[in-house]
Amino acid sequence: MSRPQYDDQNIFARILRGEIPCTKVDECDHTLAFFDIAPQAKTHILVITKGAYVDMADFAAHASEAEQSAFVRAIGRAAQKAGLEEGGYRIISNTGADSHQEVPHLHMHILGGEPIGPLRAS
Ligand code: 5GP
């Protein structure tokens, strides 16, 4: 299966290039974590890859082992730095059209800081 086209003008690519500011939570060689501009919970963090991956399907199939392990560790580290470990948190990565993914650069949402309810509204 061929890789999806990556749009290097997407908003997260621009944040990575420093063209748009963000409030940083954590950074490593492969990842950047920052607060979501329109939080859906008391604490809402986005963890993104520095590599150009469109979504989780692209990342799972094509990222290196180092990038994949760094991404998982970055999620845990960002949640810990934001004080979410004790109360717990939810991670979500929208992938593709059915998920309502809006920004076509792989990202994990971390939601917490308060009870955030069931996985889907009934
Ligand atoms: P998606 O729907 O693609 O899974 O989530 C994209 C997320 O990016 C949304 O929660 C949205 O609020 C966030 N977002 C969009 N533009 C910006 C921005 O310029 N800065 C930050 N920090 N977050 C953004």
Nearest to 116 by CA among 93, 94, 87, 76: 87
pLDDT tens, residue by residue, 87-99: 999 999 999 889 9
Q: Residue 49 is which amino acid?
A: T
The best mutation among 9, 11, 107 to test binding of ligand 1, ranked by most ligand atoms within 8 Å of the C-beta, falls on 11
Residue 80 and residue 74: Cα distance in Å, rounded? 10
Residue 1 has a pLDDT of 63
Which tops the pLDDT comparison, 98 or 1? 98
Name all residues whose Cβ lies below 6 A of ligand 1.
Answer: 11, 20, 22, 34, 36-38, 46, 94, 100-103
DSSP string over the chain: -PPPPP-TTSHHHHHHTTSS---EEEE-SSEEEEE-SS-SSSEEEEEEESS---SHHHHHHHS-HHHHHHHHHHHHHHHHHTT-TTT-EEEE---SGGGT--SSS-EEEEEESS----SS--
Active site residue 107: yes
Round the average pLDDT of the chain to a whole number and report it: 96
In this predicted structure, the answer to whether residue 18 has a pLDDT above a threshold of 70 is: yes
pTM: 0.97
pLDDT tens, residue by residue, 33-71: 999 999 999 999 999 999 999 999 999 999 999 999 999
